[in-house]
């Protein structure tokens, strides 16, 4: 078993340095845990620390790491570290089991600019939203058979805030004019349909962030988080909180 005291120190230091964060997925501390010598390298996006937590869980010894917070849904455990004294009762999670997602989709969620921006949204709202969420009332165009219609996924949905956030990313991979036109049609549909169901929509433009020459986000975490908070500030979110 790795040195638990070192893990606890890394967690404590993380929250001391990130005063605006109260809860975070355990994977986010992997770079600091590697730097502290707890692990030599990361594997499968936080697997080493999750394995330690699962081992402690099986032995009923999770109390050795007081900052651990686990959400159990449909036979799966979702692991977080929380600030001491913080009680995340309103935490929401994406309930899609990892085994039901393709490896390609998981890589996209982890590595893409969209994932980075949505992580910032989670931190700004102090919630974990439902990614690629669909609504039964938000549907795409009819298929060629003239019958079937597929739900249009939204980038992230926060049920407790009745808020959908869409990241309007830069198309780094070339897309056809037809694809571009279809995306815009669906974007306009979201702007119309979501408010009809009393769901606010916030669109985050790619240009909001500092970009490099390749039009990629520079990823200045602190500054980017403040940009997201500034966009959220004018929204009337508190009145939409679901009563416990």
3-state secondary structure 127-140: CCCEEEECCCCCEE
pLDDT confidence of residue 107: 46
Q: Which residues of 166-195 are buried (b: 16+ CB within 10 A; e: fewer)?
A: bbebeeeeeeeeeeeeeeeebeeebeebbe
Helix (H) or strand (E) holding 7: helix 4-17
Instruction: Quote the CA–CA distance of 74 and 126 in Å, as a whole number.
Output: 23
Please report the DSSP string for 18-87 in residue order: -TT-SEEEGGGGHHHHHHTTS-SS--TTTHHHHHHHHHHHHTT-GGGSTTEEEEEETTEEEEEEE-TT--
Instruction: Quote the CA–CA distance of 143 and 125 in Å, as a whole number.
Output: 37
Is 172:112 a contact under the CB 8 Å cutoff? no
pLDDT confidence of residue 238: 57
Top-level CATH class of 89-244?
alpha beta
Closest by CA to 221, choosing from 31, 12, 11, is 31
**Digits of tens for pLDDT over the chain (244 positions)?**
558 999 999 999 999 998 878 888 999 999 999 999 999 999 888 999 999 999 999 888 999 999 999 887 767 788 999 998 877 754 555 444 444 445 555 445 445 789 899 999 999 999 999 999 999 999 988 766 666 788 999 999 999 999 999 999 887 666 788 888 989 999 999 999 999 999 999 999 999 999 888 788 888 899 999 999 999 999 987 544 433 2
The token pair at 168 is: 């309007």
pLDDT confidence of residue 241: 40
pLDDT confidence of residue 91: 54
Residue with tokens 């590697």: 34
Q: Looking at the domain that runs over 1-88, which CATH code has it been given?
A: 1.10.10
Query: Which neighbouring-strand residues pair with 156?
Result: 131, 165
pLDDT confidence of residue 9: 95
The token pair at 87 is: 């009680």
Sorted by where each begins, the domain ranges of the chain are: 1-88, 89-244
């Amino acid at each position: 078993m790795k040195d638990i005291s070192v893990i606890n120190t890394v967690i404590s230091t993380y929250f001391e340095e990130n005063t605006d964060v109260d809860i975070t997925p355990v994977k986010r501390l992997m770079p600091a845990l590697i730097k502290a010598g707890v692990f030599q390298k990361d594997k499968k996006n936080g697997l080493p620390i999750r394995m330690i937590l699962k081992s402690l869980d099986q032995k009923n010894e999770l109390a050795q790491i007081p900052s651990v917070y686990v959400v159990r849904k449909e036979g799966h455990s979702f692991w977080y570290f929380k600030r001491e004294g913080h009680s995340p009762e309103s935490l929401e999670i994406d309930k899609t089991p990892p085994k039901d997602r393709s490896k390609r989709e998981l890589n996209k969620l982890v590595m893409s600019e969209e994932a980075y921006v949505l992580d910032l949204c989670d931190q700004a709202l102090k919630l974990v939203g439902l990614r690629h969420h669909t609504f039964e009332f938000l549907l795409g165009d009819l298929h060629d058979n003239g019958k079937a219609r597929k739900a249009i996924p939204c980038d992230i949905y926060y049920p407790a805030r009745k808020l959908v956030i869409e990241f309007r990313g830069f198309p780094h991979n070339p897309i056809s004019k037809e694809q571009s036109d279809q995306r815009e049609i669906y974007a306009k549909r979201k702007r119309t349909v979501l408010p009809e169901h009393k769901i606010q929509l916030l669109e985050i433009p790619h240009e909001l962030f500092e970009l490099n020459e390749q039009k990629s986000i520079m990823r200045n975490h602190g500054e980017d988080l403040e940009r997201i908070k500034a966009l959220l500030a004018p929204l009337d979110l508190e009145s939409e909180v679901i009563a416990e």
